[in-house]
Amino acid sequence: MPLLRAVVLSGLGAVAVLTAAGRAMRLLGGDDPREDRAVRALQDAFGHGSDDGAVAADPAVPTGLREPIDRVTELLSWYSGVPQTIANGAMWCGITWWLTRDRRSAVAPAAALALETACFVASAALVGRPRPQGVWRPEQPHATSSFPSGHTAAAFALHGTLADLLDSHGARGARLLRPLLRYGIPGAIAFSRVYRGQHHISDTVVGTMLGRWSAAVVRRELLSS
């Protein structure tokens, strides 16, 4: 019960901070903030227009350069989707239990995702920020608020927890895998969400903070105690 109480209280505090930050961003920057100019410029640089997700015919942009980025970001965006993330978390819970037979370690991936998701859903409902306007968006966005980026938050929460598990159990190759798990994979996912017009840049920045915070709470309450 003390563990549950600590996590719930931390989560309520995080929701309050996220809600205040999101509403302040909408108040100060409006629903078409200046940061979106950078997103549109990035998309334009790779030959993408905002006309119903079609690719703009820009001969100055080599197809050979644009297509690999489109394919990689599509794969990353798919990998970070809700069903895939749930399956990923469940799989790593099972693998961790099989390798360690430690209950706290085994539930850590699911706990990080559960905490992140609860904070994301609550703050998104309270902020209600629209998705970016006038951008290329090849996939239909979810009905939730744009703020914060749930895909980004989940990626940092899950992969950060996996890096913490490697640390806590002294796994081989942890030194090489930790940066990839903590920053490489989730950072690439955050970029894909912006590049594909799903989020404002600030959505992914705050999503990064939420995900890393969720992983830190799980590390403190489950893996370090």
pLDDT at 168: 87
List 152's β-bridge partners, or say none: none
State mean pLDDT over 31-56: 79
Helix axes 103-127, 2-29, angle to 10 degrees: 30
168, 206 in Cβ contact below 8 A?
no
Q: Is the pLDDT of residue 187 over 80?
A: yes
CB contact at 8 A, 222 and 104: yes
pLDDT at residue 6 above 80?
no
Please give the Cα distance from 41 to 9 (Å, whole number). 41
First to last CA, the chain: 14
Q: What is the mean pLDDT of residues 128-155?
A: 94
Neighbours of 34 (CB within 10 A): 8
Q: What is the pLDDT of residue 56?
A: 43
pLDDT at 51: 55
**Cα(18)–Cα(192) distance, integer angstroms:** 22
Q: How many CA atoms lie within 13 A of 218 on its CB side?
A: 30
pLDDT band at 210, cuts 50/70/90? Answer: very high
The mean pLDDT of 31-46, rounded to a whole number, is: 92
Region 85-106: what's the mean pLDDT? 96
Residue 3: pLDDT band (50, 70, 90) is: low
pLDDT band at 65 (very low <50, low <70, confident <90, very high): low
